[in-house]
Each structure stands twice: as structure tokens, then as C-alpha cells.
Structure 1
Amino acid sequence: MPTKQQIDHAINEHFDAWNAQDQARWSANFSDDIVFEDPYGGLLKEGPQAVQHSWENSFKNGDVWTLECLLKQVCLDQAALVVRSTGSVDGKPVVVEGIEIYTVNDSGKVCHIRTYFNPPEGMELDPYFSQQT
């Protein structure tokens, strides 16, 4: 079971590296068997390729997204967060708020992420981050 300090570090590293646009640091924060359910109801994304594709699909076409943790609760090996993501789609500003659940393994690496969010009405996010219908 990871310690609360390991979980806090993994979550802080996730947000800090992302917002600094430090892909190498962000990617190193994940276990090799990472599973993304991003968003829940979409296609499962697994392993190092999922980390790479999540980064590439978030920052393509010069888009920049920043993440802000509004609330965090840690229980056992998981952290539940309320997150605000601010970015742009097709040159239009977008703010998405959602709930994200992170599981951290005994090595202090993020091994599972499940996100719950919907794009603003009338907007579609990159298909990589779409729910299946």
C-alpha cells in the first residue's frame, strides 16, 4: 500500500509536470501497466503508448491545457479530485470541470486513472477523449 506522502507526490508531480509542459517528467510518473479510462465510458488506453498518445492528443495543433486541482481526498491507494482543465479547441477557449480518480501503486507511480467529464455544450473534444455512444 502506498503512503499518503507517495500519493500526494504522484498527484502533485502529475499536475506540476503537465502545467510545465514537461513530457518526460509527466510520463515518468506512470507505471508501465497504467490504465487510462479518460473519460470513463471511452476506450481503455493502456501502457506506455497510452501515456504518449494522451500527451500528443492533448497538445496537438499548438493547444495548451492547464490543470488545476480544486479538491483532493486521499483514501487508501486512491485520490479523488475535482479538476478544472483550461485550454482551447479550434481556437476557442474551453474550461472543463470533472472528477478524476487516481490509483497509485506501492512504488508511488500512478497505475490507473478514471475521469468523469463532459465537454461544454456544443463543443467536441479530440475523439481520443470521447465517450462511446
Structure 2
Amino acid sequence: MPAQEQMKKALQTYIDSFDAGDAATIAELFADDAVIEDPVGKPQISGRPAIDEFYAKAISAGTKLTLDGPIRGSHGNGAAMALTIEVPAMNLRIRAIDAMTFNEDGKIVEMRAYWGPDDFEK
């Protein structure tokens, strides 16, 4: 199981890479068979090719992330963060909680983004 510090560092890299416009570094945080559910309740994105495309699209829209509090670890293989997502290309702001599950190699195997209709504004 990855250490809490390793998971928190991965999530900080996730945030920093968005702000740097670096989709490749974001995608490298994920295992080859990872899944993304963003938002929870919508169809999943599965596998690295689809994840690479998902983040390339987000970066091309100028998406930026801001932490709304500290990144939180766990006693297990998960970590989460509350954040604000700014998408200038869509004039959109979303307040979300992203929860990540990690494998023993420290790669993200699941990302679940919790946000709904009441959590975004134009």
C-alpha cells in the first residue's frame, strides 16, 4: 500500500500539472487500467488512451485547479481533495471533491469526482 505522503504528493502533482498545462504528467499518475468517473454517476472513462485524451482535452480548454483545503490522506489506499475547477473556455467554475484510489505502486487506479448540478456556476 502506498504511504499517505506518496498519495498526497501525487495529488499535489495533479494540481500543479493542471496549472502548468501538462496533460502528459497528469496521465502518468494513472495506472494503465485506471478508471475515471467525472462526475460520479456519469459513464466511466477507462484505460490510459482514454485518460490521456480526457486530460489533453481538459488542458486545451485552459482548465485550472485550486485547492479549497489541504489534501487528505487515509489509513488505506486513498486520498481526496476539495477543489475549485475553472474552465475558461466554457466560462465555468465547478466546486468538487476528487477521491483517488491507489495501487501498491502508487499509481491512481480510480478517480471519482463528486460534483452535481448545484456545484457549478457560469
Per the TM superposition, whether the score is higher than 0.5 is yes
Evaluate the alpha carbon distance shift between residue 22 and residue 41 of structure 1 in structure 2; reply closer, same or farther with a 3 A threshold. same
1:89, CA displacement in angstroms?
4.2
Check whether the contact 1:10–1:104 (CA below 8 A) recurs between aligned residues.
no
| Counterpart for residue 50 of structure 2 | 50
- CA distance in 2 between counterparts of 1:50 and 1:39 reads 16
The equivalences for 1:1-16 within 5 A come to: 1-16=1-16
Aligned residue type for 1:49: P
AA aligned opposite 1:96? I
Aligned partner of 2:97 among 99, 102, 105 = 99
Higher Cα radius of gyration: 1
Instruction: Provide the residue aligned with 2:73 in structure 1.
Output: 74
The question of whether the paired residues in 2 share the 8 Å contact of 1:19 and 1:66 is answered with yes
* Number of residue pairs aligned between Structure 1 and Structure 2: 118
| More deviation, 5-14/51-60 | 51-60
Identical columns (%): 25
Match in the other structure for 2:21 = 21
Q: Which residue of 2 aligns with 1:112?
A: 110
Task: Name the SS for the 1:73 alignment partner.
Answer: coil
Cα offset, 1:107, TM superposition: 1.0
Calculate the TM-score normalised by the size of structure 1: 0.79
Shift of 1:81: 1.4
Gaps of 5+ in 2: none
Structure 1 SS opposite 2:49 = helix
- For 1:106, give the aligned amino acid: E
Matched to 2:65, the amino acid is L
Residue 106 of structure 1: how far off its partner (Å): 1.3
Q: TM-score, length-normalised on structure 2?
A: 0.85
Bigger fraction of residues in helix: 2
Name the Cα RMSD after superposition. 1.7
